[in-house]
Amino acid sequence: MSKEMSAMPNSMSVSEHTSGSVLQRLGRFAQSVMDHDAVNFWAGKLNPLWSLNQPMARIVAREEAASNSVTLILKPNRHVVLPQAGQHLNVAAEVEGVRIARSYSSSAVLDQPGLLAITVKQVKGGRLSNWLCLQAREGDVLYLGQPFGDFQWPVSPQPVLLLAAGSGITPMISLLRQYAQHAVMGMPLPSKQAVQLHYWVRSRAEACFVEELQALTSIQPNFTFHLYLTQQDLSPAQASQPYAQYGRIQASHFAQQEDLNNSHVLACGSAGFVSTAQQILHTQVASFQAEAFSLPSTHADSANTDPASNQTVEITLQKQQRILTVPSGQSILEALEAQGISHPSGCRMGLCNTCACHKVSGSTKHMISGEQQHEETAALRVCISQARSDLVLDI
């Protein structure tokens, strides 16, 4: 075994050197007679991960994470910037001839450096999540974006309170794997840091990473794990588990949090969950940082209360030389997609800026803050913006 392991770096370096040499020659050829897209196409015929500039990754393994979730292990090519724990990546795939992108939290694969893992929850009507969960197989290639997000472990040694609902567990497991790695390596700070994870799911079958989280309590005595089932009564076997409880988030769940007033909170879940957590804790903790994977309902449902949202406006797409009539109550991104316009997107929450475009003129409303913007802007995030007048976009 040791001989095979020692031989592996040499074989990999030869392969990398060979592919790098080929790509350099292709690059010089591309600059002289062809565009990058054409060279990427032919390079991909030789090796699916070969590209002059496109970050990509090949699926090398898949594991069932829960009843409705799958974990994909990815081998990235040389253009991928490896994310930090807690960050997101835009992940895209060709589905029925259309490239669809969404953002997912990624994590390291601790025993296999250089690989990435994403855990995908199957969403009803979600074209990419359904393809990734049901159809994606080993050998398939995914297109990746640059990492983004500042959902990171606090630098100070204060107690940490992690709150996750549903697929909000994915950035938490990324952070906790980093935390566990520090513990295994014997680094002093994490071993003295009190950490609690509270994790809410509808049923036990939908809970991801439970065995891994239980194991972490063994190697890290200052880590505690609480699992809550919100739509399933506890069975006798589940009730006997010290980590399993029943019910939605409430103040009593944090009664045993060590030094709550000095704790740093990281919360991830639906907008409603994050809002409730903040209402319960924001006056009791030192700091509160959150990420939501849905828009706040008060803004998403503003069409019911804002008369302007029931009107239609015209959006002029300069580059495409098209004029569209769209409802002002929709996000501009959704309005474009409803008209058959395939515009780049990722997180659909205003975080990754993939959808940002130049607004030449017109008024827009920010769907989260409610603020209206009337000036020209170089980076309008159309996923969280609504038209409030006729617009001209550089699309």
Which structure tokens are listed for 16? 């990398």
Q: Is the pLDDT of residue 10 over 80?
A: no
Cβ-contact 263, 159 below 8 angstroms: yes
| Residues 222-230, mean pLDDT to the nearest whole number | 92
Domain range 160-294, its CATH number among 1.20.1260.10, 3.30.420.40, 3.40.50.80, 3.30.1330.100: 3.40.50.80
Which structure tokens are listed for 173? 């497991």
Cβ-contact 332, 382 below 8 angstroms: yes
| Cβ within 8 Å of residue 218, ≥6 positions away | none
Among 24-33, 82-91, 97-106, 342-351, the minimum mean pLDDT is found in 24-33
Q: Classify domain 307-393 at the CATH superfamily level.
A: Beta-grasp domain (3.10.20.30)
Which structure tokens are listed for 153? 């472990």
pLDDT tens per residue across span 175-191: 999 888 765 445 544 45
Using DSSP bridges, classify how beta strands 264-269 and 160-165 pair: parallel, antiparallel or unpaired: parallel
Spatial distance between the Cα atoms of 136 and 129, rounded to a whole number of angstroms: 10
Given the structure tokens 């015929």, which residue do they identify?
Answer: 45
The fraction of the chain above a pLDDT of 90, given in percent, is 55
Cβ-contact 273, 297 below 8 angstroms: no
Q: Is the pLDDT of residue 303 over 70?
A: no
Q: How far apart are the first and last CA of the chain?
A: 56
pLDDT tens per residue across span 132-170: 999 999 999 999 999 998 888 888 888 999 999 999 999
pLDDT for the residue numbered 266:
96
DSSP assignment, residue 283? T
If one counts every other C-beta atom within 10 angstroms of the C-beta of residue 99, the result is 12
pLDDT tens per residue across span 39-76: 566 656 566 676 767 899 999 999 999 999 999 999 99
Q: Where are the alpha helices (DSSP H) in the chain?
A: 2-33, 36-46, 127-134, 169-184, 188-192, 210-219, 236-239, 271-281, 297-300, 332-338
Burial class (CB in 10 A: 0-12, 13-18, 19+), 373: middle
pLDDT for the residue numbered 157:
84
pLDDT tens per residue across span 308-322: 667 899 999 999 999
Cβ-contact 269, 151 below 8 angstroms: no
Fold of 55-150: Elongation Factor Tu (Ef-tu); domain 3 (2.40.30)
Which structure tokens are listed for 200? 């809410």
- The residues pairing with 227 across neighbouring beta strands, listed in sequence order, are 199, 244
Burial class (CB in 10 A: 0-12, 13-18, 19+), 17: exposed
The sign one gets for the Cα dihedral 184, 186, 189, 192 is: positive
